[in-house]
């Protein structure tokens, strides 16, 4: 049974969902994207086997986790995650991050590689934002501050899903929209700045020496096929899986196929 827990680390409370295992051989930590929370990973926590412990946590400022000082960047997020791993005394940790969560996973490996046994990088990339992308994020902040969250959310939601998702699975659209609407304005703006200021991680990829699974939704409008292929070619021994009938959020759009490739990866490399 999935448990809801809170842990006080340094100056703030971290909320996480926990699937316990009596004798875990590994722990998968799920890292949500912008601007969602850990509830997007419920379908994956429920699918893990008896020997796999699962944790899905709310990134600083999102969901039920406190924001602390409010100054956000990838190093803050990565160090938060490393602190969570240390406080819970976790071993054999696999990071599974989507979009922003993938950026956090890569930066955490770069800063704390000995703590990480494997990576699952979903609909993400290793590039720093281009000038055009930064300008677009700044424009989004301006929209949020001057036109309101609703205007931002209306436009943002149009970029997330495969062509048939919203009609065939309206409950998914409703859930994700609720997460966007619930994210505080301060967090939306601070996280956009964190995303815009992140460093280029392409130089790190050739050093990654743990098992890596790369996943992309076939109809993702935000992360290109070329970006996924670059990750695959740059990370030695990595696998690339494409999830059909999914856009930017395959864990919720097509959970059965996503879970199949995730569990196959875990069983292949971490038996």
Lowest mean per-residue pLDDT among 48-52, 124-128, 144-148: 48-52
Contacts of 146 (CB under 8 A, 6+ apart): none
Q: What is the model's pTM?
A: 0.97
Task: Identify the H or E element spanning 56.
Answer: strand 52-57
Cβ atoms of 250 and 215 within 8 Å: the answer is yes
Q: What is the mean pLDDT of residues 13-18?
A: 98
Element housing 143 (H / E): helix 131-146
> How confident is residue 10, by pLDDT bands cut at 50, 70 and 90?
confident
| Phi, psi dihedrals of residue 32, rounded to the nearest 5° | -75, 165
Residue 271 has pLDDT above 80, yes or no: no
pLDDT at residue 50 in the model: 86
If pLDDT is split at 50, 70 and 90, which confidence band does 166 have? Answer: confident
Tokens in use for 22?
């009596």
Cβ neighbours of residue 17 closer than 8 Å, sequence gap 6 or more: 2, 3, 4, 5, 38, 39, 41, 42, 45, 54, 55, 56, 57
Mapped onto helix, strand or coil, the DSSP state of residue 209 is coil
Q: Which residues make Cβ contacts (< 8 Å) with residue 1, sequence separation at least 6?
A: 19
Q: Of 11, 4, 12, 123, which is closest to residue 55 (Cα–Cα)?
A: 4
Concatenating the DSSP letter of every residue in 64-114 gives: TS--TT----HHHHHHHHHHHHHHTT--SEEEEEETHHHHHHHHHHHHHGG
């Amino acid at each position: 049974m999935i448990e809801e827990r809170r842990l006080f680390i340094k100056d703030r409370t971290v909320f996480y969902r926990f699937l316990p295992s009596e004798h875990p051989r590994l722990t998968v930590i799920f890292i949500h994207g912008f601007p969602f929370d850990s509830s997007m990973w419920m379908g994956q926590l429920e699918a893990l086997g008896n020997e796999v412990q699962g944790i899905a946590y709310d990134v600083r400022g999102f969901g039920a986790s406190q924001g602390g000082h409010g100054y956000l960047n990838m190093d803050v997020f990565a160090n938060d995650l490393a602190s969570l791993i240390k406080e819970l005394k976790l071993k054999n940790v696999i990071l599974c991050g989507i979009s922003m969560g993938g950026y956090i996973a890569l930066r955490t490996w770069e800063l704390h590689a000995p703590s990480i046994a494997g990576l699952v990088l979903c609909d993400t990339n290793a590039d720093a934002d281009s000038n055009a992308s930064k300008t677009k994020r700044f424009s989004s902040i301006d929209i949020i501050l001057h036109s309101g969250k609703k205007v931002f959310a209306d436009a943002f939601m149009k970029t997330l899903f495969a062509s048939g998702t919203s009609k065939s699975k309206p409950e998914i659209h409703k859930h994700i929209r609720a997460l966007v609407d619930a994210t505080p304005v301060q967090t939306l703006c601070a996280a956009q700045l964190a995303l815009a200021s992140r460093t280029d991680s392409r130089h790190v990829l050739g050093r990654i020496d743990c098992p890596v699974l790369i996943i992309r939704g076939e109809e993702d409008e935000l992360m290109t096929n070329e970006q996924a292929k670059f990750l695959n070619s740059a990370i030695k021994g990595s696998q690339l899986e494409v999830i059909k009938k999914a856009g930017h959020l395959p864990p919720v759009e097509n959970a059965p196929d996503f879970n199949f490739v995730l569990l196959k990866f875990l069983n292949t490399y971490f038996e």
